[in-house]
Structure formats: structure tokens, C-alpha cells
Structure 1
Amino acid sequence: MKLPTPRSVLSALRARLAPGAGGEPSPAAVNPRALDGTNDPLTGLPGLTAFEGLLAQATRQADAASTQLALLFVNLDDLKSVNIAAGRQSGDDVLRQAAKRLRSMVKPFMAARLVGDEFLLLMADDPQPRDASALAQRVQASIGLPFPLERGEVSLSCSIGIAMYPEHGALSTMIAHAQAAMGEAKASGGASHAFFEPRMMRGKRDQLELLQDLRRALSLKQLELYYQPKIHAPSGEITGAEALLRWNHPTRGMVSPGIFIPMAERYGLITQLGSWVIDEACRQAREWRDLGLRLKVAINLSAHQLRQPSLASEIADALNTHQINPDLITCEITETSAMEDVATTVRVLGQLDALGVHISIDDFGTGHSSLSYLRTLPADELKIDRSFVLDLETSEDARKVALAVVNLAKALDLKVVAEGVETEGQNRILRDMGCDQLQGYLFAKPMSAKAIALWAMEDEGPRAMAFRASVFKPTGFRDTAPS
């Protein structure tokens, strides 16, 4: 069977993307099976499955005609700030407008939405590198124009990676190589474009191996919760601990959460890890309780978990399975996560509040909380962001922010926790401000559950601090937690 010419593929691409075309390709030029999958519901652009089918056909045409292709991987810079400042609906509006601008450039190119704020553009008319570079510059100029919103407007830039076919690899690697080049452009400050180079994949291969290992870490029992004590500020006694996820890799040793948590969020593993953390923290609280130790345990919830409709039922199941008093559990969410989708946050936190667990707003002072929104959240405490605690002894501005958070919390009848306390000076300032709880390396680093128990039972810890007497009171499923 004679293959259609490259121009017939371009005609099919144009027909597919033309307004009012209904998204149906020409059956004479494109195999319909290659286009299985629906368009992206937010932008109307083809999704990944459809794009991969067209990309495969375009590479076959290029091979037959000994021509080139160029693939552009486009990532909007700092769209997250729009979601935080103006709300997720405004962020979605920006994505729709950006898609429309990219779609206007599809002759003779094809645009698709990959995921989130990432788009793909295909040049299939034997482009040279200078042509791909020129298109990248036009895309940057178009994305750089203000995006009008319901209230005001926002300006963004974009980072673009370019992979040429066949020069920069086979069909199976084109998207990955373009993405690696985009990462290089973003790492250089964004608002630029870069062509793929083999050196860009060295770190990517290591990340891929690490991702594969992370997928197996749960089943291989490589994950563990460490616990950092929380101190009752007025008395200096230990009343609880924050559960922190740790990964003990068999060959790499302890992998930093700063590396594997963002990876889990990007590749859809964070919900699975979060579910494990919820169950394990409750299991450990029960084990401590059986030893006569009733510590409050704080667990961190990600923005992804907040959007899961099953979150409240998961926590309820864990509490019931391990027979844990809900008053012993605190769920921490960052201020930024809380403000991403306020309506969802209010609904989900209302469900958690109904369970009887405590709710803490973490990293407070770094986001864009509206006081009116904050008043609607069923929170029990605010945590002052560690960046302000770090500068307490040297920055008057940091002291003002910390004191403002304390005063705001008191006005809303919330407790205040300060994390990242490392010096006696910070400790003194925060106590004088009226903080309720303190946490940081000055008191203790995160430690294993066994180390916490030994400290409590044998009074052997990193510094001379006692556990509050109420921690050792007789326990029961409906008992109140340590005060």
C-alpha cells in the first residue's frame, strides 16, 4: 500500500484542528485507530493519546520522504501563582486562552495538551532548526501577551524544549527529549527555549530509575514514618509529634523527601503514599497507646489528597481500624494548598472536622490567604512558616509577621505552632509572643517511633525535656487527648 505524502498528513492535521471540524480526521489520510481517545475537556485540544497517534504517522511520513520533524514542549511558567492569587477557575481560564493562542499557530503545526500547564506543538513540514527556533519565539511572544480575566489580567511567560526528528532520537523518545530540553530552559530562568542535547537525559535516566524504585518502595517496606516532637511552649514538655515520611533506599540510603515527594506528586503516586501515611500514623498511635503513651500525631495532607472525595472516609476507616480517638490526630495542610480551591477545601475540611480530628494550616504567612476565607475554614491551629522563624533574631520584619500571625490566631481562637526552632533566641522570642507549641532541631530532630517510645519510657532523649503527665494517663477509644 502506498503511503500518503507528508502534505496529506498536514491536510489531515489542519482538518482535525480547524474550527468546526468536529475533531474528525480524514479517513483517507489518518488511521482512525491512531486517534483513539477524547480531546482535553478543558481546552478542546487533542489529548496525549490522539497526539501520539498523529506523531507516529508523521514520523512514518518523514521516514518515507527523508524529511524532518520538530516537536516543541511548551510549559507555562508559574501558572501556580495565578491559581493561588486568583483561584483555580482563573487558572483554567488562562489555560483555555493559552490553548487558543497555540491552536492559532497550528498551520502547519499541531497543538495538543499534555497535562496541567504543558502543551505540545508538532512541525511536520520538513522544518529546519531555525524554523523551530522561530516558532518558539513566536509562541513566547504570544504567551507573553496579557491574559484578560474576569477581574484584571495576568502576564506569564513560557519555557520551551525542542526535539528534532530523527536527529534527536526515535519516535519513542521524542516527547521525553523535548521535555528534558524544556527543563533545561526552565532551569536557566524560564522565558526561553532550548534544543535537546544528550547530556540532558543523564539526570532524567537517574530520575526514571528512582521513580521505578519509588513505585516498589511501599510493597518492599522501604518507607517509614519518623516523628518530630512538638513542645508545649509554656511548660516545655512534649505533648505530640509530627509524622514525617522517610524512604530508606537499599542502595542510595535515605532519600530526601525534597526529592521523592515532588516526584510522587508529579507522577500520581502521592495519593497512594498519603493513604499509607494515614494508616501507618494511626497504627503507630495505637501501638504507643498500648504501651501507655498517648501522643497527639500530626499528619501532612497534600493538595492532591484534598481533591480526593474518599479522603474523609479513608481517615475514618483508619481511626476505626486501629481504634484511635480522633482527638489524637491532627491533619496539616499548607496555606497554599488550602487556597488553591477554597470551595473544595472548605467542604473537605468540614468533613474532617465532623470526624473529630484537628486541622492545622501549615506554612502560614507565605500564601495569599484572605481573612474571610480563613474564617470559613474549620481550623484549630496555624503554623508559622519556618522562613520567618529562621530570621526572628535578625529581622524586624520577620518578628512583625510572626507576631501578626500569633495575634491573628488568638483573635480567631486558634492555637499557634512555630516550626523550625533552632536557637535559644528563637525559642525565647516565640514564647514571649505567646506561641502555644514549638517544634525544631533545638528540641529534637525527627526520630523513629521506637526512639520516641524509649525516650518517653526511660527518659533518655536528646535534651532534658519531660513528656507531659497527661501523655501517660489511662487510655480508651473515647478518651480525650493530652492537653
Structure 2
Amino acid sequence: MRETSKSAAPASDITAEPYGRSAHSFGLMGATPFDVDADGTLDWGFAPDAARLLRCRPETLPHSQEGLNARLDMASRRRRNTALRSLTWDGARYRVSYQIDGLDGRRVWVEERGQRLSGQGQTASDITAIIIDIESRKLEEAKAIYHASYDPLTDLWNERRLREAVSTMHRGLQYFGRNGALVRLKLSNIPDINDSYGYDTGDHLITALAQRLSVKFPAPDLLGRIGGISFGVALADCEADEMTSRVNKLLSYLSDTPYPSPHGNLYAEVNASCVPMSAKGGVDIEALFSASRAALAVTQDMGARYVPYDADKFRNHNVKPKTQAEDVIAALNDRRVSLAYQPIVDAKSRDLHHYECLLRLKRGDGEIVSAGGFIMAAEKLGLVHLLDRRALEIASETLLRYSDIRLALNVSAATVKYLETADAYLDALRALGPATKRVTLELTETVALEDPAMASRFSVEARMLGCEFSIDDFGSGYTTFQNLMAIEADSVKIDGSFIQDLSMTPHKQTFVRMMVDLAQTFGVKTVAEMVETREDADLLKRLGVDYLQGYLFGVPSAAPAWQRHTGA
């Protein structure tokens, strides 16, 4: 129920007679509207729908705040009262989720959203609100939480959760002075089974093999599904001279006995690798899993079920990353890296102040997408500084062509902290001449945290050329203002996670107010990103934020307004 006007309308203007047909529409959406008078009286829009949603009879509907709260447990009551106390100004909104007791003995998850229409001081009055049935959503959220750690087909841990557990296991191995091993298994005949009998039969075999593994490896050994047809087993106590014997026994256990199915007995063809986890020294979990993947690739290349681990033999058989250095270079050479421009406006006047330049990548099929994943890959490959330079090159063309445009460019830590890449970037800035006065360089908190000395050097030299500096994603890391002042930031960009749903989240409002007050103390401007609603924008203005950025004011565009107006 997003407002389209700042002015408060009487509850009777929102739905007619009272509520009338609108109440039935709410009912179809699993929702019911109600009003709260100044004395706490509840007026339900359509009692039958409200009773169905709250699992009670119409005559037992609560008609006061106290009556509604009586249906809640202590924690839910406290959350609801806290949300209502946040309505300290006309037009303020709230949103709170809680469980309410139904007469059928069940507890139902609902979400309550409301807005204060009039009232004085700290007492909320004249509230119009709606209660929404979110029981199915909560069930989906519970499933999502479960699937964040568990594989939905086999109910084993997924790779992320297994990696975390292996890291914990290795610390235990070090403490007790024991050695372990990571076994990777691949069910290699699944493609043939899918072709012959269908994917359901393939899933049946995967599930049956997972059950057999679960019986074989109880705690303290660890087990997870780490790919479509791959499993990982972490052995809590396995010396190097035992690895071959234990893996061969495991392969016989998995492959020699058939698995019953509607199509008759099926056999599992399994390949394996086994990489040691030494009790001495540290372990790089990423390197450990990569080594097990490379060892399995060698095993398959040799046409074997298992090849004993040999670090020297497997060292040169690395699994290539999804994005390789050649891919980054090719994208740059083929001019498939471009910029999109998102406006940033003055919070008070809503006039355009400048644009942020965001990288875009043209894929092989011609679609232009966000370059987020590509940037992360380039960082791992040590090539992200090339993307920074390309962004500056494209932005330079714009700055030299349009004399009234101001642009903000993101600069990565890899560009700033190395002397060679930093100097190359500064030379490219220097070639802009006076246009550098229309450039803002955005550095993440990570840059200031990783190497404050190099960040300070870079900022001093760029500032001498006329650039301004902004700290991006402020509030998401651990950098103090003392670190930020080392690079003399002109502005900080408040991380979008604190801005989304700001008007309905009191603790976010408190945090943003603290950041703004601190920034003002140091004479630093503030920018709020991910502003998507008028209510959030108005509240940010009242909190003293200087500039706003988000979909409310414009999406990132490869053809911004100034190009359309000039026919470029």
C-alpha cells in the first residue's frame, strides 16, 4: 500500500462504504484492513474476512489494541508495541511480523503494516493498517534457510556447509595432532542412466547412494553433496598410508552391490580422489577442495576409479576458473565492457548533482548485463585494475564531450595499493586536465582498511589534480572515521542495506542518524544509495542526508538523459 502523496487522507477515503468492495479484494489477497482510533479502538474493514485470517469467529474478533495483543505471545507483543511507538510523526509507517493465536489452536504468522495519519507527541493515534497472512511465506523462508545448508534432493549438507564443517574439523585435527583426508566421489554413469531411464531414475540412484553413504559415515566423519553428481567425505582420522585402502573399500561398498529401482537393479560407477589434511600447519579450504577436484580430474583422464594422491603429479593439473585471464583481456579488447550511468540527486531540491558510472558487460549472445561477477573474477585473477582503467577511459570521453557533467568512478583496492597501477591510473587522470574537477573517485572501506598509507598517497595526488573522494558502502565494514580521514574523504556513501525499508525500520533510522551526525561533525557530505520509495527519500532528507541515489530517481542507463537530449 505505497502512498502516492505526502498528505494524509482520512481512512474513509482509502476504501469506501466503509471499505466496501475493497475489503473483499483484500480478502482475496489474504489480507484484512482495519483502523485504530486515538483511544485504541480497532475497526475492522470486513469482519468475516478478518475472522477467517485470524482463525476465529466474527463475534470474537478483538476490538482494542489490548485485545489484539492478548492473542500474542510476549515476544510478538513486544515487537508490535515497539513498532507502534515508532510512529512519532504524521505519515510515519511501520511494519512488523508476529504469530497470533487462532481459536483452532494453531499459531498463524501475519504481517501488520500501518501508517499514522494524525496525532501529537509520542502517542500514535488515527492509524490505518492492514494485516496480511504470511504463513506460506514463512514456510518458504524456512525452506530457504534449510536449503542454504542442505541439498534438497539428498538432505545431505551442501558444499558451502561442508566447507565450513571441514574447516572446523581441521582445527580439531590440529588440536589433537591427528591427520585426516578429504575424499571426493563422482557418480560418473548418471548421464547414461538419465538417457536410458529418465532423470527420475537418475535422481533415485543419487538418493540411494547418498543413503548408503550416510550409513557408512556417521559423526565425526563429515558428508555432503558438493555437485550434481559429486559427494565429499571428510575423514576425521586417516593417516597417509591408510588412504588407498580406505578409498578402495569405499568404492567396493558403493559399486559392487546393486541399487534396486523400478527398472531393475542399477549399479553405481564411482570415481574417487583423496587428499590429505595434515595436522601440521594451516589449511586453505579453497585449495583443499581445488586439489580434490584436480586429483579427480587426473583419475578420470587416466580411465581409473582411483589414483593415489601425488602432490607433484597433480600440481600441474589445475582446474581452470570459470573466467580466465584470456576472457578478461578478450572482453576489453573486443570493447564488450561499457558503462551505465545512474543519477545522484540533491536531497533537498531533487536536482541532479552527478552520475555514478557502473560497469556493464556484453555477453556472447549480445545481452548487456551487470559486470558484478566478472569484476569478482577479475579481482581473483589480479586484473581488476584493467577494468578500472577502462572505466576511466570511457568516462574521460564523456567528461571531455559534455562540460557540465559530473561523474563518480569506482576504484578497486588492487588499483590503489600497488604503486605501478596507482601511478598508471593517476597518469590517465592527469590527461583529463581541468575536467578532473568534475570527477569523484569512490573507494570502498576495504581500500582504506587494507593499506591506509597507499590509500592516503593516492588520494593526495588525485586531489592535487582536482578530484573529490567518496567512501563507498560506508557502514558495511570496520573502518573508523580516523581511517577515512587519512584519505580526506569529501563524502561517504551509506551502504544500501541500511537504506532499504528505512521508513519502516526504526533501528535503521537510528543508525543512519548517527552516521549523518558523525559525518557532519567532520564536515563530510553523505550519500544514501538504494533509495526506492518516496517515504524513504523524505525521511532521509529530514535526517540530514545530502544526496540520494536509487531507482526512485533513475535506473543505471547506457543512454542517460544528456545523450538523449543532444542526440548523441
Q: Same fold (TM over 0.5)?
A: yes
Gap regions ≥5 residues in structure 1: 1-75, 78-97, 107-122, 145-155, 180-203, 459-483
Aligned position for 2:517: 407
- Which of 301, 313, 338 lines up with 1:224 in the alignment? 338
Aligned position for 1:148: none
- SS of aligned partner of 2:560: helix
Task: State the 1:310 CA deviation.
Answer: 3.8
Separation of aligned partners in 2, 1:236 and 1:360: 20
Task: State the 1:353 CA deviation.
Answer: 2.0
Q: Is contact 1:282-1:324 (8 Å) kept?
A: no
In structure 1, what residue type is equivalent to 2:375? I
Q: Identity over aligned residues, as a percent?
A: 29
Q: Is contact 1:234-1:436 (8 Å) kept?
A: yes
Aligned position for 1:477: none
Cα 1:211–1:374 shift into 2, 3 Å: closer
1:272-351 aligned within 5 A = 272-289=386-403, 294-311=404-421, 313-351=423-461
Cα 1:135–1:408 shift into 2, 3 Å: same
In structure 1, what residue type is equivalent to 2:299? E
Q: Is contact 2:240-2:276 (8 Å) kept?
A: no
- CA offsets 1:446-471 (integer angstroms, 9 cap, x no match): 112x433145559xxxxxxxxxxxxx
Aligned position for 1:160: 288
Separation of aligned partners in 1, 2:274 and 2:362: 44
* Structure 2 residue 561 is matched with structure 1 residue 452: yes
1:34-183 aligned within 5 A = 127-128=243-244, 130=246, 135-136=276-277, 138=279, 143=282, 160-161=288-289, 162-163=292-293, 164=295, 166-169=298-301, 174=314
Q: Is contact 2:452-2:486 (8 Å) kept?
A: no
1:433-448 aligned within 5 A = 433-448=543-558
Aligned position for 1:194: none
- Which of 353, 362, 376 lines up with 1:262 in the alignment? 376
- SS of aligned partner of 2:488: coil
1:200-215 aligned within 5 A = 207-208=322-323, 212-215=326-329
Aligned position for 1:389: 499
Q: Is contact 2:385-2:421 (8 Å) kept?
A: no
Q: Is contact 1:143-1:157 (8 Å) kept?
A: no
In structure 2, what residue type is equivalent to 1:365? G
Q: Is contact 2:531-2:537 (8 Å) kept?
A: yes
What is the TM-score when the length of structure 1 is the normalising length?
0.55
Task: State the 1:285 CA deviation.
Answer: 0.8
Separation of aligned partners in 1, 2:447 and 2:178: 34
Cα 1:236–1:451 shift into 2, 3 Å: same
* Structure 2 residue 475 is matched with structure 1 residue 365: yes
Separation of aligned partners in 1, 2:397 and 2:244: 60
> Could you say what the CA RMSD is over the residues aligned between the two structures, in angstroms?
4.2
Q: Which of structures 1 and 2 has the larger relative contact order (alpha carbons within 8 angstroms, sep 6+)?
A: 1
- SS of aligned partner of 2:515: helix
Separation of aligned partners in 1, 2:285 and 2:378: 26
Give aligned pairs, total. Answer: 309
Separation of aligned partners in 1, 2:563 and 2:388: 27
Larger Rg: 2
Task: State the 1:177 CA deviation.
Answer: 7.5
Cα 1:393–1:125 shift into 2, 3 Å: same
Cα 1:246–1:394 shift into 2, 3 Å: same
Separation of aligned partners in 1, 2:242 and 2:476: 48
Cα 1:421–1:138 shift into 2, 3 Å: same
Q: Is contact 1:246-1:255 (8 Å) kept?
A: yes
Aligned position for 1:420: 530
Q: Is contact 2:243-2:274 (8 Å) kept?
A: no
Cα 1:169–1:419 shift into 2, 3 Å: same
